[in-house]
Amino acid sequence: MADSYNVLGGLTYLSPVETFPKAKAAATRALEIDETLADAHATLAYATWYYDWDWTTAEREFKRCPRTQPQRRDLSLALQ
């Protein structure tokens, strides 16, 4: 769900003002349930970077991806 909101807002199919807060809320909720979800960290990082322009928080979330699920190498590519 959270990734869908990121895509819809990032490609402006829907208003970013509407979609990115929903993406962040869904990712945050997922992380409340399971802190090890790399996808949720990546989603939160993207929304924070692309919508909030909060580079520090986005970098921290992107860096959590490979630590929580090292088998998902595609999630670590965002840092390269």
Per-residue model confidence as pLDDT tens for the chain (80 residues): 888 888 888 888 999 999 999 999 999 999 999 998 888 998 999 999 999 999 999 999 988 876 666 666 555 555 55
The domain locations on the chain are: 2-79
**Amino acid residing at 63:** K
CA pair distance 70, 49, nearest whole angstrom: 22
pTM of the model: 0.81
- CATH classification code of 2-79: 1.25.40.10
Dihedral pair phi/psi, residue 34, rounded to 5°: -145, 105
Q: What's the token pair of residue 75? A: 């999630």
Write the DSSP string, 38-62.
HHHHHHHHHHIIIII--HHHHHHHH
Could you give the angle at which helices 16-33 and 38-47 cross, rounded to 10 degrees?
Answer: 150
